[in-house]
Amino acid sequence: MSDIFRGFEIARRVAEAIAAGRIEAAAVGDMTDEQLAEFDKDVYAEYLASQKEREDLLAEPTPPEKPEE
Amino acid sequence: MKQFLIALIVLGSLILTGCPKAKKTVREFKEKSAEVTIYARNLNQAFNKAFIDGVITRDELRLYGTVDTAFGKALAAYRAGIEAAEKVVNETGELPKDTILKVDRLLDSVVTAFLDLTVKLGVMSFAQSETVRTILRGIQMLLLSLKAFVADARGAYGLEVNYV
């Protein structure tokens, strides 16, 4: 995968992640205290799960490079 | 008896006017905590997926991970600070200035850790793209708005405001 394509692709993904976050973050102010507590609990659990997923991904052994043909 | 009733009314008025302000501040701290967690979760998920799809390398994911781990520690401390502040409000009806300052410092460390994350993203190869630079500037502006929020909270409590 070329660096130009990688750059474009990760930029698109980061942009999507932030845009989706903006929509969710905008709704936080309208929540009741109970809704906010529940929402915050869920988001934080998902955040911790994403950290765990990253640790698992990084712990996986690197696949051996294919010999050049 | 009359004096006792007057004292009760005065005390009740103080609690009624002081408590909502304290609760409002705690509520705002909670909102900021939830908002910043949303962005961090989304970025984590996006980077994990990008690694799985072969868009970023292991080293890039690891670099992202080191900064996010620091951010996660700051966030955990901030959440504990809010919980402690809420306990104080529920027990006393007031949010003491030193508690505000403590939570403020914790939020500041969260913001600094997240800013560090955006700076680290900025040195990755993909950040040469103007689109990414624009996005990163957007996140940094958001983080600076959190600092402005803390300045407002400090101002509301008559504390010194020293943020830019």
Q: What is the pTM of this model?
A: 0.72
Residue numbers in B near A62 (CB within 8 A): 58
> Positive or negative, the Cα torsion across A5, A6, A9, A15?
negative
Note whether ipTM > 0.90 here. Answer: no
Residue B87: count of CB within 10 angstroms of its CB:
12
Of residues B67 and B132, more confidence is placed in B67
Q: For B36-89, what is each residue's pLDDT tens digit?
A: 899 889 989 999 999 999 988 898 888 888 878 888 888 888 888 888 888 888
Q: For A15-63, what is each residue's pLDDT tens digit?
A: 788 778 888 988 999 999 999 999 999 999 999 999 999 999 999 887 6
Task: Tell me which DSSP letter residue A68 carries.
Answer: P
DSSP H or E run through A43 = helix A33-59
Which structure tokens are listed for A13? 């993904």
Tell me, yes or no, if B24 comes closer than 8 A to chain A by beta carbon.
no
d(CA B162, CA B84): 24
Residue numbers in B near A1 (CB within 8 A): 54-55
Are the C-beta atoms of B132 and A7 separated by less than 8 Å? yes
